[in-house]
Each structure stands twice: as C-alpha cells, then as structure tokens.
C-alpha cells in the first residue's frame, strides 16, 4: 500500500496493490498498518456509511465538532467521484485550503481525513457508490456543514456537470459565515486530539 500526504495537513491518499487473475480481481482498500504509518495512530471505526449518487450530486462540505470529531476513510467501489478535503480548522497553516483526489474502482485509491477537516465529493457517473469508515457514530447536534458552492472556497466542481445539492447543504453557511458564527473547529483543539490518539 502506497500513501502520500495531501496538501491539507492530516489528510492522506492511499493506493493499494491490486491482484487480478482469471477469476477477477482482489484488492484491500483499507490496511491498518499503512494508516498507522501515515497518521501515527490506528482509526477506531464507530460507523460505516454507504451512499449511492446520481451524476452531478455533491455531498458536503461536512464536518463535526472536535472533540471527538469524526475522522473518515473513504473509498469508491463503483462509479467514480472527485473527493475533496477542506481545512476548516481555524488557526491552521492551511485553513481554507483544499485538495482533491479522483476515486474509482480502477486505481482503488482511498482518502483518510482527520477529525476537524471538511469532506465533500461530486459523483462523476450515475450510480456512484461511496463507502465510508467513520471514527465516531453520526451525532446530529455535533454535525455541521459549509455550502459546497461557496465562491470564496472555489472548490473544483467540474464545469460540465450541473450540481445536484440537497437543500440542507445549499442553505449551509459559507466558510466566512461559519467562522463568524464560531462553528468551526480550532486547529489547537484538533492537534491536541490527534496527540491523544497517538499516545494511546
């Protein structure tokens, strides 16, 4: 399993080795040893999520209060999508920056994002499947969103796709509004949380 750090600190792309033969193919998209080497600690799995999306569907930008936050390990077993990680941690050196990775069942890449980072994606094909490992169960009072169409963020949604966005995501605050409202996690709180995870 190869991995590389993304431009947003505490997010990583993983690419496993695939094993094709006359029966088909085998691949292990999640390998704990590689995640520990990258992040410095294992990932607790509190919930798994599965979504199916039409072409052009945007989900996100979603994040959770820290602590405990919600780290995610995401993978696309069918279709294809552009996965986007956004640094929403106030005080972070990469605050407001994003990085994007193409996920599909061709290269079998996955993305890990630590607690406090924002997550979004756009489906590039109909019936695109996203599979998530989440470090914590869904907790509605602690869950928040940023408008994925916020022009100040300038997320890399393909111009040839008409965005399909839920009313909840479309009515979410911009990054500037969320910062003014005190909704965003702080970089100090997040890094303290990461250190506790590494010390376990």
Active-site residue 41, yes or no? no
Name the 3-class secondary structure at 196: helix
Task: Tell the burial category of 117 from Cβ atoms under 10 Å away from its Cβ (0-12, 13-18, 19+).
Answer: buried
Active-site residue 132, yes or no? yes
Name the 3-class secondary structure at 5: strand
- CA pair distance 1, 109, nearest whole angstrom: 10
- CA pair distance 73, 151, nearest whole angstrom: 27
Longest dimension (CA), the chain: 57
Q: Which of 41, 50, 62, 73 is catalytic?
A: 62
Q: Which of 41, 112, 132, 193 is catalytic?
A: 132
- CA pair distance 58, 66, nearest whole angstrom: 24
Angle at Cα 91 formed by Cα 194 and Cα 120, nearest 5°? 70
8 A C-beta contact, residue 96 and residue 154: no
Name the 3-class secondary structure at 105: coil
Residue 182 makes CB contacts below 8 A (sequence gap 6+) with none
Q: Which residues are catalytic?
A: 62, 132
């Amino acid at each position: 399993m190869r991995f590389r750090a993304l431009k947003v600190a505490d997010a990583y792309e993983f690419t496993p080795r695939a094993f094709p033969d006359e029966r088909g193919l085998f691949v292990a998209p999640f390998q704990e040893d590689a995640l520990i080497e990258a992040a410095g600690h294992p990932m607790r799995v509190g919930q798994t999520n599965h979504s199916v999306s039409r072409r052009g569907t945007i989900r996100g930008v979603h994040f959770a209060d820290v602590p405990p936050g919600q780290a995610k390990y995401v993978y696309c077993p069918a279709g294809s999508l552009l996965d986007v990680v956004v640094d929403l941690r106030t005080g972070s050196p990469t605050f407001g920056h994003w990085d994007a990775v193409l996920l599909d069942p061709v290269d079998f890449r996955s993305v890990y994002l630590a607690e406090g980072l924002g997550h979004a994606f756009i489906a590039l094909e109909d019936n695109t499947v996203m599979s998530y490992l989440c470090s914590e169960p869904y907790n509605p009072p602690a869950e928040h969103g940023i408008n994925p169409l916020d022009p100040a963020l300038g997320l890399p949604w393909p111009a040839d796709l008409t965005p399909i966005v839920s009313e909840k995501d479309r009515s979410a605050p911009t990054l500037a509004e969320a910062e003014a409202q005190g909704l965003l996690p702080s970089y100090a709180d997040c890094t303290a949380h990461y250190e506790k995870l590494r010390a376990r």
